[in-house]
Amino acid sequence: MSEQGYTPIPPGAIIPGSLPKFKIYILSEQGRYVLWAAEGNRVSEEQLAKLAASRHKEVFLDLDEELRYEEYLETHLGNILENQAPSDEQKAAMFSRVSANVVKNAVETSLGLGAMDEKAMGRTQAMVKNALIFIAQSKSLEALTAMIGHDYKTYEHAAKVLWFTTAFLKENTPVMEQIQPGYQAFDAYQRMESLRQCGVGALLHDIGKAFVPQEILNKEGPLNAIEWEVMKRHPLNGLAMLLDSALPPFVLKAVLQHHEDFHGGGYPMGLEGLASSTLARVLRIIDCFDAMTSRRPYKDPVSPLKAMQIMVGMPPDKKTGEGRAYEERDKGMRHCFDEDLLGKFIVFLGSMKLHG
Ligand SMILES: [Fe+2]
């Protein structure tokens, strides 16, 4: 038994016939953790069915073996997402965990090299493929909305930008046509490939932050002039890191341009209007939406509705005062976005069952 204790995991994460390299426990009625499956042992379908029929709604993992569990999740993610046993919320949570780890690994391994490591790129591509399979499932969007309002963590943020971007683009063929001319005439496989490339861009849009010191990334107050200059380099750093990868130019452009503002004043080049690419303009919206609706140590999350109101430039509610705290900081935010795309994104959000 570990010093630290145990953590619950959904039994649906365990794929029948697989050989988890970690021990699995159940909690007895006396409150003791009892070994249910030893590491490296095959977990049979019957064993899992018996568990499902019992009172145990969750199984437990030794915290010391969490890393092995995460490796297992990543290896089996495709099967887990297709498995009927976990709820959609559980799938979304497991998915978030895997994708956050994949991005974290991509950033960490790329740091020393100054470029995206080939193996990390392989993991990223495989993960995005799973993301697309997941969002093709009917209940997946509802499950993903359950992640709105969570803490803002860099890698989870990247995962959420991936989901929103691919789910939004999948529903908006004319936008995809702008990103990848000819998309409308593509067959199912080619469409999937295009969406996958957009997903990789969404997941890695901030990879250049690997070179921004943690003190700047995590600073709660406003950045000083020098810190701001360092921060503003992250799109260019991201491009440099991905230049040698096999990503198509529209993905590289999106990484470079995701902080350009539609009405000017963005960085790194100060492009205006349609001068920045369509995918970059989509990322500008979704990146901002997720940042606003996430919880940070110094601010509560804004509801999706409120975030939308701020993004389109609506004044705070005079009666309730809601939104007043954000008014100053967010003033003028509407100049950042392509109104046409923002309108489409709002319609897309309207089609999801949003909480709050
Ligand atoms: Fe960024």
Ligand 1: centre distance to CA 234 (Å): 7
Give residue 169's pLDDT.
96
Q: What is the Cα–Cα distance from 152 to 300, expressed in whole angstroms?
A: 10
Ligand 1: centre distance to CA 159 (Å): 13
Mean pLDDT along residues 41-63: 86
pLDDT band at 296 (very low <50, low <70, confident <90, very high): confident
Mean pLDDT along residues 300-322: 78
Q: What is the Cα–Cα distance from 72 to 39, expressed in whole angstroms?
A: 12
Q: Beta partners for 8? A: 60
Higher confidence at residue 263 or residue 85?
Answer: 263
Mean pLDDT along residues 147-169: 80
Ligand 1 ion: Cβ-proximal residues, 5 Å cutoff: 206
Is a pLDDT exceeding 90 seen at residue 85? no
Ligand 1: centre distance to CA 51 (Å): 44
Ligand 1: centre distance to CA 235 (Å): 6
Ligand 1: centre distance to CA 5 (Å): 37
Fold entry, domain 87-350: Hypothetical protein af1432 (1.10.3210)
Report the Cα 271 to chain-centroid distance in Å. 26
- According to the per-residue pLDDT averaged within each range, which of 108-112, 233-237, 307-311, 314-318 is highest? 233-237
| Domain ranges in the chain with CATH number 1.10.3210.10 | 87-350
Ligand 1: centre distance to CA 119 (Å): 23
Q: What is the Cα–Cα distance from 195 to 191, expressed in whole angstroms?
A: 6
- What average pLDDT is seen over the chain? 85
- According to the per-residue pLDDT averaged within each range, which of 89-98, 178-187, 292-301 is highest? 178-187
Mean pLDDT along residues 281-291: 95
Mind listing the pLDDT tens digit for each residue in 70-84?
A: 889 888 888 888 777
Higher confidence at residue 143 or residue 275?
Answer: 275
Mean pLDDT along residues 318-329: 57
Ligand 1: centre distance to CA 258 (Å): 6
Q: What is the Cα–Cα distance from 197 to 322, expressed in whole angstroms?
A: 39
pLDDT band at 197 (very low <50, low <70, confident <90, very high): very high
pLDDT band at 355 (very low <50, low <70, confident <90, very high): very low
Is a pLDDT exceeding 50 seen at residue 175? yes
Is a pLDDT exceeding 80 seen at residue 145? no
Is a pLDDT exceeding 90 seen at residue 329? no
Q: What is the Cα–Cα distance from 80 to 90, expressed in whole angstroms?
A: 10
Higher confidence at residue 322 or residue 6?
Answer: 6
Ligand 1: centre distance to CA 91 (Å): 27
Mind listing the pLDDT tens digit for each residue in 5-38?
A: 899 988 888 888 888 899 999 998 888 999 998 8
Give residue 57's pLDDT.
82
Give residue 356's pLDDT.
42
pTM over 0.85: no
Q: Let me know: does 2 contact 23? Beta carbons within 8 Å.
A: no
Helix (H) or strand (E) holding 162: helix 154-171
Neighbours of 182 (CB within 10 A): 9
Give residue 319's pLDDT.
63
Ligand 1: centre distance to CA 115 (Å): 17
Give residue 207's pLDDT.
87
Ligand 1: centre distance to CA 202 (Å): 10
